Amino acid sequence: MTQTIVNILLFLLAASFLTGRLLPAKGVRTITASELKKELGKKDVQYVDVRTPMEFRTNHIRGFQNIPLHELKKRAHELSKEKEVIVICQSGMRSTKASKLLKKLGFKHVTNVTGGMNPWM
């Protein structure tokens, strides 16, 4: 009986951890790559690609600036907290983390591109 309770608690803890890592942050808007195509070029929108510089050089969307995820916290001051920030990466995992970080840092309008660059290509 005790082992069953421990197993259930471990399962719930693991499920909670994974859910928190994979789901978008509260207040983060999500769009698909096809929806992004309609939004490109909007005024007062900041487009950020959080992939590595090498990934960015290989293929990127015109208008996006490269701020790698591991540099985002220290370079967030380069972005306006008042303007919308649209974030993309390769598959959507890093941009999800970046979106959560931006919300924690006080950015008001954050949009994550689900699926990242994969469907774009």
Residues taking part in catalysis: 89
Cα 89 to Cα 4, 5, 86, 94, distances in angstroms: 40, 39, 11, 6
Place of tokens 């990934």: 55
CB 67 within 8 A of CB 48: yes
CB 79 within 8 A of CB 46: yes
Largest CA distance in the chain: 61
